[in-house]
Structure 1
Amino acid sequence: MHVDVIVLAGGRSSRLDGVAKASLVVGSTTLLQRAVEAGRGAVAVGEGGSPGTGGRVVVVGPDDETTALGDTLRDPRASSCAVLRTREAPPFGGPAAGIAAGLAALSGPPAPAAAGPAAARAPLVAVIACDHPRVDRALPAVLAAVLRDGADESIDAWAARGRDDRLQPLLAVYRRAALDRRVAAVRRERAHGLDGASMRTLTEGLTFAPVPVPTVDTADIDTWADAARFDATPPTASVAAGDHPTHSGGAR
């Protein structure tokens, strides 16, 4: 399986008093680190558990040092998976605008280190929001469903769904052609294009295959009460300074 990954990290975090969600620390890592590492794991998935054909990860959001993302990029495993950075236009344009920016970045020429077959445009794109603290559990379940049902061309996307019956379009894997088609359609149909467009608008008409996962694995962090449920804390001064320890497994 060949999949690229878009990690969305560009929200305002208004209900967290402006503290960037991406910078919250769960266990020993920031939420953005956890999302990037989940994405890195996704590009390595192949048939029957064999290695995948590679892919790229793009982080859409501000270049915020408090996320300690540099620690993840300095991990020796980073050399096997290119991690790009980009920003939605205009900033804070919402998740649909972020996805469009991510697709554009993934469509550009690969860096020299990423040259080769794995750098080609992947037919599948995983989209994950950085505010899901258990993305490392939910995303593998979605990928397993893609491996199982990927030959069914009537399916445009696979998305996690908890027992609360809520489909999570930001914990999902899409066929790139379907996403490209919807991005182009929204640009044509809305005066402001993707700016401020909802995920409902972007995914209108797409056929989703729900992937059952534990509801807690689909939860996101929007408020301090949500953060408390996952023992998520604001970044410390050492994290902001880039002295955060490199993560190698994830808090469970």
Structure 2
Amino acid sequence: MFAVIVAGGTGERLRASAPAPVPVKPLLEDATGRRLIDRVLDACTSCRGRIVVSGPVPLPADVTLVREDPPLAGPAAGIAAGVGALPPDFTGDVIVLPADLARPEAVVAGLTGPGVVSADGHLQPLIFRAPAGQLRAACSGNLVDAPVMRIIRALDLPVIRMSAATVADVDTWEDALEHGFTHRRTHGHTPGKEG
């Protein structure tokens, strides 16, 4: 199985709600220095490969970094970019996840077979598992600024039910506080230590 982790958004809601400048959302840290993206990557360590769709971010050497074309073309284009980075001969399943999940281990554990997640009656189109061949076909064509539901409809996946707490994400500073991502260090600057 491969994991495609979509992290290409601007994080506008987080930046707008934070009381001080924050790094790009995937690089938010908890008190131990563990980043939001690290939690998602760690939840996918059993996968044959991990592909992150993002702008330039420091990642482990065994993680493939790709970018949607053009940048900021939306999550559907991001998924397509990640799928394009799969080995051509890969025929297993692919799990697709957003990079801002607060409890990614629980989400990955619940993706036991192909399906798209629904949380308390609300479809979560950025959280699904699908066979690679079907996903490649669903990602064909121009997906720039297209809704992710276009991919989901083409896949025709069964629904996997999870709770809203399981699929909670970090969209705002309030979410960051709730889930322990309160470290405000930004690149080259540590609060309280003026240079």
TM-score, structure 1 normalization: 0.65
Corresponding residue for residue 192 of structure 2: none
Instruction: Give 5+ residue unaligned stretches, structure 2.
Output: 16-21, 189-195
Q: Report what 1:59 is aligned to.
A: 52
SS in 1 for 2:166: helix
Q: Given the alignment, which residue of 13, 23, 26 partners 1:22?
A: 26
Per the alignment, residue 4 of structure 1 pairs with 2
Q: Secondary structure at the match of 2:159?
A: strand
* 1:171 matches 2:151: no
State the AA in 1 paired with 2:82: G
CA RMSD of aligned residues (A): 2.1
Go from structure 1 to structure 2 and tell me whether the alpha carbon gap of 1:167 and 1:27 turns closer, same or farther (over 3 Å shift): farther
Is the alpha carbon distance of 1:165 and 1:222 closer, same or farther for their aligned partners in structure 2, counting shifts above 3 Å?
same
**Is the CA contact (8 Å cut-off) linking 2:130 and 2:155 kept in structure 1?**
no
Shift of 1:27: 5.4
Distance (Å, rounded) in 1 between the aligned partners of 2:175 and 2:23: 14
One of 61, 86, 89 as aligned partner of 1:106: 86
Query: Offset at 1:234?
Result: 4.6
SS in 2 for 1:208: coil
Deviations 1:51-102 (A, max 9, x none): xxxx21111101224xxx3xxx27xxxxxxx421111111111111111111
Specify which structure has the higher proportion of helix.
1
Note if 1:236 corresponds to 2:193.
Answer: no
Aligned residues: 181
Could you tell me how far 1:212 is from its partner in structure 2? 2.5
Corresponding letter in the other structure for 1:64? V
Partner of 1:208: 157
Superposed, which structure 2 residues align to 1:1-252 within 5 Å?
Answer: 3-17=1-15, 19-26=23-30, 28=32, 29-41=34-46, 43=47, 55-65=48-58, 69=59, 73=60, 82-107=62-87, 120-143=89-112, 146=113, 157-162=114-119, 164-184=120-140, 187=141, 193-237=142-186, 240=187
Deviation per residue, 1:98-155 (Å, 9 max, x gap): 11111111136xxxxxxxxxxx514211101111110111111112xx1xxxxxxxxx
| 1:217 positional shift | 1.1
Distance 2:11 2:146 in 1: 18
Residues 24 and 83 of structure 1, relative CA distance in 2, 3 Å threshold = same
With normalisation by structure 2, the TM-score equals: 0.83
The letter for the 2-side match of 1:8 is V
One-letter amino acid matched to 1:5:
A
Take 1:26 and 1:178, find their aligned partners in 2: how far apart are those partners?
A: 37
Q: Percent sequence identity over matched residues?
A: 28
Tell me how far apart the structure 2 counterparts of residues 31 and 57 of structure 1 sit (CA, whole Å): 15
The residue type equivalent to 2:129 in the other structure is: V
For 2:30 and 2:159, the matched residues in 1 are separated by 27
Q: Structure 1: any 5+ residue segments left out of the alignment?
A: 44-54, 75-81, 109-119, 147-156, 188-192, 242-252
Q: C-alpha offsets along residues 27-67 of structure 1, whole Å, 9 cap, x if unaligned? A: 531111111111213x1xxxxxxxxxxx21111101224xx
Instruction: For residue 161 of structure 1, report the CA deviation from its aligned partner.
Output: 2.5
AA matched with 2:109: P
Conserved? CA contact 2:31–2:183, under 8 Å: no
Secondary structure, aligned partner of 2:44: helix
**Matches of 2:27 and 2:81, distance apart in 1:** 21
User: What is the distance in 2 between the residues matched to 1:123 and 1:223?
Assistant: 35
Could you say what secondary structure the match of 1:171 adopts?
Answer: strand
Contact 1:16 1:224 (8 Å CA) reproduced:
yes
For the residues of structure 1 that align with 2:79 and 2:10, how far apart are their CA atoms?
16
